[in-house]
Structure 1
């Protein structure tokens, strides 16, 4: 049953516009990072540790602004078909458990975010070698740990925004809320008290290479991600499974 739902969702998405933000987001972050790294003073400071310096520049914009916004766009697009012309009534009229539909949509958003993360990682390496001419070996271990940590840190955000996207019919309303809550992350991320518990700041904290933790996240941040992720998934799942669908 679940495999059929996976195939059905894939048929809807393979020719949809959902691929556009997945590809555009890492490309835009890399372009911003490259332009900043090409600036004279920044390029001079990169000489000591070029890969770390370049990656910090790219990740600063990507993880703090673009990645949280990407999760909101993907969640909205995953539910866009069902919000049009009574799609929810149609899909829920089939003998398919609601929990299966919710899990498959959540799974696909995770996959698309993972794809964006991988594109960002290889894009950084490609531009670093071919454009910035960084001659030292790429720090694959650091990059993989950062990319994986950022992906895991998106789980609470995805859970929250998928819940909202299945609830609200409008595509613009969840995105507007996401933008409004993303902006304070610029300031909150630098707070040792509030940063680790603010979902929109967690991807940045997880992706910035620092300390000796395996995934560059502190125990407080990791425990918050795990607990909040489980709670938000359970709440969204329960609400979707029990609420009345009117359109």
Structure 2
């Protein structure tokens, strides 16, 4: 049943404009990261692994701003059809558990986030090899950086998907994501990054640092899982108890 629900969400999202955001925002981020890296490299601010420095300059900027907004945009697109033309009524009459509806959308959102991460890494490799002509080999550790950036985003995905389900407006959840980015940056600065989902993005995207600002993976991983499970349960409860009629 879950597989069929995921297939249905894939079909609905296939022609969605969210894939424009999935492509454009990583490309824009890579361009900005290249500019920042080029300016700093011109005054010899970098030492050591050039790939690591390029990812750090690009990834942290991405985590502070673009990545949460990208997730919010994708989440809003995934609920957009339900919020128009009385589609909520059709959805609520389908003979599947309410939790399955939310989980299926979360799986599709996780796929779009992973795609964005993969594209960002490809763009960074192009920048490094073509733009700056790095002679160092591409580190295999970049796969770990990709995975940690993706995994740390899943908590934010659950939050934004719930907000987009609850709020009919497309833009309001995106605006809330911007405000929560600021709160996430504050938590990161104060050392509470592993406890707040919008700070976890920054931690995950900085996972290539030797002195990772996380107490341990045993702190980050359970917190990400907690937010995923909590918002699945919260969404399921709301879908079961509230009769939603979209106009």
Please give the TM-score of this superposition, normalised by the length of structure 2.
0.90
Counterpart in 2 of 1:63?
63
State how far apart, in whole Å, the 2-side matches of 1:212 and 1:145 are.
15
State how far apart, in whole Å, the 2-side matches of 1:72 and 1:144 are.
24
What is the Cα deviation at residue 43 of structure 1? 6.1
Counterpart in 2 of 1:239?
238
Matched, 1:228 2:227: yes
Matched, 1:49 2:49: yes
Which sections of structure 1, spanning at least 5 residues, go unmatched?
Answer: none
Counterpart in 1 of 2:88?
88
Residues 33, 212 of structure 1: CA spacing in aligned structure 2 closer, same or farther, 3 A cutoff?
closer
After TM superposition, list the pairs within 5 Å mapping 1:1-247 onto structure 2: 1-39=1-39, 41=41, 44-46=44-46, 48-141=48-141, 143-192=142-191, 194-208=192-206, 209-211=208-210, 218-247=217-246
Q: CA RMSD in A?
A: 2.2
More displaced 10-residue stretch of structure 1: 39-48 or 57-66? 39-48
More displaced 10-residue stretch of structure 1: 85-94 or 124-133? 85-94
Q: Secondary structure at the match of 1:139?
A: coil
Number of residue pairs aligned between Structure 1 and Structure 2: 244
State how far apart, in whole Å, the 2-side matches of 1:51 and 1:16 are.
33
State how far apart, in whole Å, the 1-side matches of 2:167 and 2:157 are.
15
Residues 10, 223 of structure 1: CA spacing in aligned structure 2 closer, same or farther, 3 A cutoff?
closer
- The CA deviation string for residues 213-245 of structure 1, in whole angstroms up to 9 with x for no partner, is 8x9954333332232332222222332233211
- The CA deviation string for residues 65-86 of structure 1, in whole angstroms up to 9 with x for no partner, is 1111111111111000110111
State how far apart, in whole Å, the 2-side matches of 1:224 and 1:27 are.
30
- The CA deviation string for residues 50-104 of structure 1, in whole angstroms up to 9 with x for no partner, is 1111111101111221111111111111000110111111222233332222221
State how far apart, in whole Å, the 1-side matches of 2:5 and 2:224 are.
28
Is the CA contact (8 Å cut-off) linking 2:159 and 2:227 kept in structure 1? no
What is the Cα deviation at residue 198 of structure 1? 1.7
State how far apart, in whole Å, the 1-side matches of 2:48 and 2:189 are.
25
Q: Secondary structure at the match of 1:136?
A: coil
Residues 3, 108 of structure 1: CA spacing in aligned structure 2 closer, same or farther, 3 A cutoff?
same
State how far apart, in whole Å, the 2-side matches of 1:50 and 1:43 are.
14
Q: Secondary structure at the match of 2:197?
A: coil
Q: Secondary structure at the match of 2:198?
A: coil
What is the Cα deviation at residue 155 of structure 1? 1.8
State how far apart, in whole Å, the 2-side matches of 1:198 and 1:45 are.
31
